Structure 1
């Protein structure tokens, strides 16, 4: 039996989904080739690549999980989905005058394209675009600490979990090794596309990338994007259905950097990856999926995370195509 994204999460056979998650986890836990954890951020480099977890939140709020789905990990760039959601709520479509909506085709931390396009990042999920989004959030609160607090409050709201927090050790490591991000921020500032001091913007950026969540928390946090903008845990509206669709569209086209096309081909779901090894994927109308395996491929995306989502999409018939 398969399902399509046109169906509601309530139509999903829980036994079938639970079996799929357990079998996928068992197969991937036995793999010897697992990729390499991000080695340029010391706390991430020390994470054992043997870890694997997966969780699915359906739009009727049922949660299914397998592996180490309750173990917290650094969500890194997955946080950009939530900062973008917040920034659009504050600035609306005026944000798109400062950042584009096109795939980059380049690495997530490339400065070449930013220079070529005169300080307008190609999309909000590459590092330069996320720095502009952080600046937009900072312009409202004016103080980095308040902005970080606002981001954490939003994540706790959508996850329905007050324990979500940023890891200060990871944030310090991000700052200590973030020279290329500092270059991007200063270049954006020189082009007039940052309104706040670069070091303040970087502080916000490093801290939201340092947020730790488990697969279970992350699947719940992303469920509003699968549920027409409404949080299935609380019934409260997060964004309009139209905005949820547009965020999903950006995740589909830009969520895996220069690996986005291959991911769409193999998995066919809106998603966002992070160099901590996590991936958040959305099955519109059906489910939010979070997977974590720390080993990365050459594009900085979770090697086994992509394989897990490809297997799950195939077994459940969840591709949007």
Structure 2
């Protein structure tokens, strides 16, 4: 078992935490700028229900881009891979997650993958429902099932802050609409997308989602197949190739764990067949990944030979 004691894990957290001074919180979203850059918390959830943790694990944070992989799983379950990948590609990109460049230069004008903002907006557009409220509730119900926590909700403060400053995402959405990738009102999509990104939980919840992906979509506690195994496999593949923004290649080489990050400082990792990891560390590097979170995953991967490669 990885890190049999909290003390063992805390020692790694203390080592990784030294990196926080080199990072910066995502203050371009005003509500996220309030985070303490020195925070670092981690939970490791095992298939048998045991959990090892260290740091301020009860502290809540918003999923941000971590929500992209969860929404992708829901939409793939709703509509099937053929439908989804007609509108969104499967290729990694070396561009920043919020770039519009490839939309302008690619012949088909469709987003390269579901983990960049343009692709995530297209995927969120595909959530089934007759209204923003209904679609959001479907997503929340799915997240609650994954976490086994019926209280999971979104942060109204963060979603409002994102909605009011989402100028680039609006631009991406209008470009997608111009090219027939989406066909709904852009403001409604922004309303849904910013609430999706503002879904809030702690590291323990995030680790529990990670273990479901790690176990090919099966909730190891209840034994229920929450996500079909082929869809869990697709999601984990995207986590490896695109999950850490335009640092995904380096992350795969140095750490080699399927993972998805968000600019709040969250990272969800799924070590195939073994366990899920939930991390919160809001100080970010230049690519928008938790700087101490990545260091912590590197220490875990190297110390316990976790790389899948």
TM-score (norm 2): 0.96
Deviation at 1:227, TM superposition (A): 0.8
Selected match of 2:150 from 137, 162, 177: 162
CA deviation map 1:164-223 (0-9, x unaligned): 110011111111110000000011001010022111111111001011110101111222
Q: Contact between 1:51 and 1:68, CA under 8 Å: does it hold in 2?
A: yes
Provide the rounded CA distance (Å) in 1 between the counterparts of 2:284 and 2:143.
Answer: 25
Deviation at 1:33, TM superposition (A): 2.2
Partner of 1:125: 115
User: Is residue 167–residue 211 contact of structure 1 (8 Å, CA) maintained in 2?
Assistant: yes
Shift of 1:57: 0.7
The answer for unaligned runs of 5 or more in structure 1 is: 1-11
Question: How big is each residue's C-alpha offset from its partner over 1:91-149, in whole Å with a ceiling of 9 and x where there is no partner?
Answer: 10121100011101100100111111243100001000011111100xx2020111111
Identify the range of structure 1 (235-244 vs 183-192) with the bigger mean alpha-carbon deviation.
235-244
Q: CA deviation at 1:18?
A: 3.8
Alignment partner of 1:80 out of 68, 79, 83 = 68
TM-score for both structures, normalised by structure 1: 0.92
Map of 1:306 onto structure 2? 294
Cα RMSD after superposing both structures: 1.3
Is the 1:34–1:304 Cα contact (8 Å) retained in structure 2? no
Which string of whole-angstrom CA distances, capped at 9 and with x for unpartnered residues, describes residues 243-276 of structure 1? 2122111100000111101111111011100000
**What secondary structure is seen at the aligned counterpart in 2 of 1:54?**
strand
Q: How many residues align?
A: 307
CA contact (8 A) 1:280 1:291 kept: yes
Greater than 4 Å deviation, 4+ residue runs:
none
Give the secondary structure class of the aligned counterpart of 1:42.
Answer: coil
Matched residue, 1:149: 137
On the 8 A contact 2:132/2:188 being kept in 1, the answer is: yes
**1:222 aligns to what SS in structure 2?**
helix
